[in-house]
Amino acid sequence: MKAGWGLLASQKSRCGGMIMRMRASRAAIFVGGVSLLALSGAGVAASAADTKGNKPPLMMAQTAKAPANAAPAPQSPAADPATGGESDEKVVVTARRVEEKLQDTPVAVTVFSEKQLDRLGAENLGGIQNSVPNLNIVQGRGSNSSANVFIRGVGQPDALATFDPAIGIYVDDVYISRIRGALFDVYDLSRIEVLRGPQGTLYGKNTIGGALKIVTLAPADELAGRVQVGFGDYNLFEVKARASGAITDDLKALVSVYSANRDGFVTDPVTGVEYNDKNTLAGRVSLYYTPDDKTDIRLNVDYTREEPSLTLGKPENTLTNAFAAVLLVPPAGDFNFQTQTSMTAFNEENSLDHYGFGLTITREMAPSWTLKSITSMRKLDYTDYIDIDASQFRLGDVLVDVNQSQQSQEFQVLFNNGGPLRAVGGVYALREHIFSHQEAYAQDFFPGFIRFIDDDQVLTSVAAFASVDYDLATALTLTAGARYTHEHKRYDRITTTVGLVTAFDAPIERKSYNDLSPSLTLTWNPGEDATYYAKVAKGFKSGGFNGRANSAAELPRTFEPETLWSGEVGAKFSWLDGKLILNSAFFYNQYEDFQARVARGSGLTSVFSVINAGQLEQYGAELELFWRPVRALQLQAQLGLLEASYSEFFDPRFAPDSNPLNDRSWNTPAFSPEVTFRLGGVYTVALDDAGSLDLGGDASFRSETALAVDNANFTTRVPFPGMFQDDYWLFNARVAWTSEDGRYTIAVLGKNLADERYRVDAQEFSSLGGIRTSYWGAPRTYQVNLGVNF
């Protein structure tokens, strides 16, 4: 540890009735938007995704004898609609824990194949953001691999270890419990499924807004592989490589590696040092063993190492010290990707190690019964230096050092005897231990100010669930399910402050939570070209402890769980042999006990509370369209419409809470843009013996978005500068050549071609020195990829 920065700890570390208040103007947005898209013939990439990637011969749909409308397990990859002339009927998802055709699944789900991810130029999960209605997934504040994920306005942007996510992220059915390190890089993936709406019955806690399922490639039967090398501006150099094949008749393996290095987007104008860069090395080994024709065993082991520089933003407010003296007036205008930092000595000391294994065993116990076991252990260690104020002053300079481990076990039982009743059920257990050491330096706020915080949290969570399908008639199915969850959290906190007399040593605290999350779905399949569904479901997000509490004034330091009830109707259509596909969903959410971090006081009396602020209502529509008018042309569009508002929001800073004058339900909910839209296409030019050329591009739009919960002045209701992002468009393009035999590829990609400057996240800590900081999307970039298959 460099001198002057202290020591790194040695222990490394309510469903009440709501009245829907649809104002005429906003209702018109929904009606007009739906009509416009339906008439325009614009289209949905993800709905027409191929599921490229080899799959084991014994798949869940086969072993579970999946629902009657489920697809048989494919033995070979489905063709991409843009190139293969095959329809979307072969796209298979596991959104309901069994394999089903995408168009038959009564879930709002968008799917991306490996080829689609490549066409999007997706570097990590954030690459799919603009291709899914009502999805926000960006790099989280102050770090390079935190996943800030919101679906339909539901999410959790704070990566602090005591706050649970609201969107579940799964890798090969293994739950990833922290958002830090969850912005996974895209390599060796079979597909990504984005499930919108609460998924509490089948996926459990912390899927109150939805889930992202990452499915990695399975080993191939024969020797095969791919190497791709990428070059780009900012000295980008990227390598993706994999090899797969059979070791014996019963055992297959896949080995993949990923490496990426890129200079930073942000420069300190004084020192010339670059920040916001990328330095990642990752790998995965997958083994697939079939000792007999009734048993599949899949073992995945993965490791990621990151050594990035600081992630800096732009100061958006006047910075002051504890005595109200002005230290910095924020620069006007958009971010020019230049800023100073006081943490110059720590630019290369950030690090992350994220690794673990998942073992899945599937056994057909009898012709109608299948047992599945999913066992996992994971470890996350990271050291982050975060300059929250993004300036040369020490106001919000923080070291966060975290050691996290988790172990989980799930058993599933699947039943299907070919009759009208099918079922999936099981039990789940998760144990997680998180130790976090923080050091906060604010010597320019108050002379000598240093604070040391040590958090120790242990979680034990157990659950039992079941979901049953029953065919009421040939084309009509009723699905009923429920999940019961019990969890216990133990939390210990020690806070020491240097330069002030304040110290805070909290006793060990314990909290337990219980939840029952039911769901009910009615599905009508009148024919092969249409599916209609209506569903009601509940989601649950865990309560916990306020890891930002620094004094007794912030007691009680606990907050209660969030719950969300959702009603949804949807329709999926596939016409012209899959050349025209339209999927739609309309939803309404009642969101109770929303967990909000708000600050009280100012200067030396500032405290940071986490409260169950009140209620929200959210309603909206989603349309996804895919259209292939001719074999060579694929058009796609996605439209998301969202109306989100607080029905209650009592702010403790303006006590008493019961005073109606202190209701700030006028506030704008964070990460809930009213409109998200994308239009894209790919045209394939046949070059005869010389192969083919793909010409593709897309344009995406996102309306005004609040980037923080606390985003406007309580008295004047004027938005805080930098806490909103105005409407903006992004434009991307890709040209790719593929040899006639498909072996060689050359692709040129350009992202953000108009060099749009736009915020993606923000932090509001203005009670401490006026800190408000915004984080910005990448500037215009280009990349060239050279690939070879063998």
pLDDT at position 35 over 80: no
Please write the tens of the pLDDT for every residue from 386-396.
Answer: 999 999 999 98
What's at 587, amino acid-wise? F
**In contact, 764 and 250? CB cutoff 8 Å:** no
pLDDT at position 210 over 50: yes
**In contact, 287 and 299? CB cutoff 8 Å:** yes
What residues make up the domain containing 59?
24-789
For the chain, the domain total comes to: 1
- Res 727: pLDDT: 98
Residue 338 lies in a domain: yes
Residue 426 lies in a domain: yes
Residue 198 CB partners (closer than 8 Å, separation 6+):
207, 208, 209, 210, 517, 537, 538, 539, 564, 566
Which range, 42-46, 76-80, 622-626, has the best average confidence (pLDDT)?
A: 622-626
Cβ density class 492-512: b for 16+ within 10 Å, e for less: bbebebeeeeeebebeeeebe
* pLDDT band per the 50, 70, 90 thresholds, residue 238: very high
* pLDDT band per the 50, 70, 90 thresholds, residue 506: low
Please write the tens of the pLDDT for every residue from 334-376.
Answer: 999 999 999 987 777 899 999 999 999 999 999 999 999 999 9
Residue 420 has φ and ψ, to the nearest 5°, of: -75, -10
Residue 577 has φ and ψ, to the nearest 5°, of: 55, 40
Task: Please spell the DSSP secondary structure of 427-461, one letter per residue.
Answer: EEEEEEEEEEEEEEE-TTTSTT-EEEEEEEEEEEE
- Res 551: pLDDT: 65
Share of the chain above pLDDT 70, in %: 84
- Res 606: pLDDT: 65
Helix (H) or strand (E) holding 34: helix 24-40
- Res 548: pLDDT: 78
- How confident is the prediction for the chain on average, in pLDDT? 87
What's at 142, amino acid-wise? G
Please write the tens of the pLDDT for every residue from 179-197.
Answer: 999 999 999 999 999 999 9
Dihedral angle at the C-alpha atoms of 570, 41, 133, 19, nearest 10 degrees? -50
Residue 102 has φ and ψ, to the nearest 5°, of: -55, -45
Arithmetic mean of pLDDT, 261-273: 95
pLDDT at position 429 over 60: yes
Residues paired with residue 512 on neighbouring β-strands, in sequence order: 488
Arithmetic mean of pLDDT, 11-27: 36
Residue 3 lies in a domain: no
* pLDDT band per the 50, 70, 90 thresholds, residue 155: very high
Comparing 652 with 447, the larger pLDDT belongs to 447
- Res 597: pLDDT: 78
- Res 604: pLDDT: 58
- Res 715: pLDDT: 80
Residue 14 lies in a domain: no
- Res 67: pLDDT: 39
Residue 114 lies in a domain: yes
* pLDDT band per the 50, 70, 90 thresholds, residue 638: very high
Across the chain, how many H-helices and E-strands are there?
A: 5, 43
- Res 90: pLDDT: 72
Comparing 500 with 264, the larger pLDDT belongs to 264
- Res 547: pLDDT: 82
pLDDT at position 48 over 70: no
> Of 174, 214, 196, whose CA–CA distance to 428 is shortest?
174
* pLDDT band per the 50, 70, 90 thresholds, residue 768: confident
- Res 557: pLDDT: 78
Residues paired with residue 372 on neighbouring β-strands, in sequence order: 362, 412
Residue 139 lies in a domain: yes
- Res 655: pLDDT: 57
- Res 29: pLDDT: 36
- Res 19: pLDDT: 32
**In contact, 769 and 783? CB cutoff 8 Å:** no
pLDDT at position 172 over 50: yes
**In contact, 93 and 109? CB cutoff 8 Å:** yes
- Res 69: pLDDT: 35
pLDDT at position 76 over 50: no
Please write the tens of the pLDDT for every residue from 688-738.
Answer: 999 999 999 999 999 999 999 989 988 888 999 999 999 999 999 999 999
Arithmetic mean of pLDDT, 99-125: 96
Please write the tens of the pLDDT for every residue from 547-556.
Answer: 877 666 565 5
Residue 4 lies in a domain: no
The CATH number assigned to the domain holding 523 equals 2.40.170.20
- Res 613: pLDDT: 81
Query: How many whole angstroms from its chain centre is CA 135?
Result: 9
Query: How many whole angstroms from its chain centre is CA 760?
Result: 14
**How many angstroms separate the CA atoms of 733 and 266, rounded?**
24
End-to-end alpha carbon distance in the chain: 47
Residue 1 lies in a domain: no
Range of lowest pLDDT (2-11, 261-270, 481-490, 529-538): 2-11
Query: How many whole angstroms from its chain centre is CA 3?
Result: 38
Please write the tens of the pLDDT for every residue from 589-628.
Answer: 999 999 887 766 665 556 677 888 889 999 999 999 999 9
